[in-house]
Amino acid sequence: MTEQERSLFEAPPIAEQERMVEAILFASPEPVTVAELERRMPHGCDPAEALAYLRRRYEGRGVRVVRVGDGHAFRTAPDLGHLMAREVVETRKLSRAAIETLAIIAYHQPATRAEIEEIRGVAVSRGTIDQLIEMEWIRFGRRRMTPGRPVTFVVTEAFLDHFGLESARDLPGLKELRSAGLLDNRPLPGAMGRGPDADDPDGDEAPGQTELFED
């Protein structure tokens, strides 16, 4: 075996092995056993030793290397647990009724309950509105100055944040939805757009190519 060949089969320095263990433990969703480390690391490595170095390095730090069953994992230091007490949220999809109600409010705000019902064609349950208000995605707007002075609903900052919008006006119009394939491409009898920009025939993006030929 030549010098060069030997070096190809030589294990990396222990400091490098320590880095490897560090990265693997960090990225792994489960605690990792020494055997598993050995399988993953280059031939000739000594994961148990690297692990010992790593464990010592993290002593007293904000996170530590701990043994969990047969495996090893990073865990935050117990004395800092109070900082981790964050609200972890289990996300579940909103119901169809809630999404539709929300969409109508976003596109037509301020919208009254009667308007929402007119557009959806069914009654809006009280729970749906309550849920959206509780989520802080909608709030009460001004009362409509029509008989009965109904309350209106508008979307909130939190709503815009969640959907990555700067304003509700940035929601794509019907025409854009259609061109993105999100809306069936059927002819509209007496189409009512949702605003002047939605159905403005000039609002259509001229495909780049045709522009070459204008002069």
Partner 1 sequence: MAATGADDWDGMTPERVAERRAAEALIVDVDGFEGPLDLLLTLSRTQKVDLRRISVLQLAEQYLSFVDRAKALRIELAADYLVMAAWLAFLKSRLLLPPDPAEAGPSAEDLAAHLAFQLERLAAMREAAARLMARDQKGRDFFARGAPDDRGVVRHVRWTASLLDLMQAYARIRTKDEFRPFVMDRHHVYTMDEALDRMRGLIGFAGDWTDLASYLPEGWTADPARRRSATAATFAATLELAKRGLVELRQSETFAPISIRRKDP
Q: Which of residues 40-99 bind partner 1 (CB under 8 A)?
A: 73-78, 81-82, 84-94, 96-99
Give me the least distance between CB of 83 and a second copy, in Å please: 5
Which lies closer to a second copy via its Cβ, residue 1 or residue 189?
189
Note whether 33 binds a second copy by CB under 8 A.
no
Q: Measure the CA–CA gap between 110 and 104, rounded to whole angstroms.
A: 10
Give me the least distance between CB of 21 and partner 1, in Å please: 14
3-state secondary structure 113-164: HHHHHHHHCCCCCHHHHHHHHHCCCEEECCCCCCCCCCCEEEECHHHHHHCC
Q: Which residues pair with 140 in a beta bridge?
A: 153
Note whether 152 binds partner 1 by CB under 8 A.
no
β-strand pairing of 138-140 with 63-68: unpaired
Note whether 114 binds partner 1 by CB under 8 A.
no
Number of residues that bind partner 1 (CB under 8 A): 72
Which lies closer to a second copy via its Cβ, residue 94 or residue 141?
141
- The interface mask with partner 1, positions 157-186, x = CB under 8 A, is ----xxxxx-----xxxx--xx-x-xxx-x
Helix (H) or strand (E) holding 7: helix 3-9
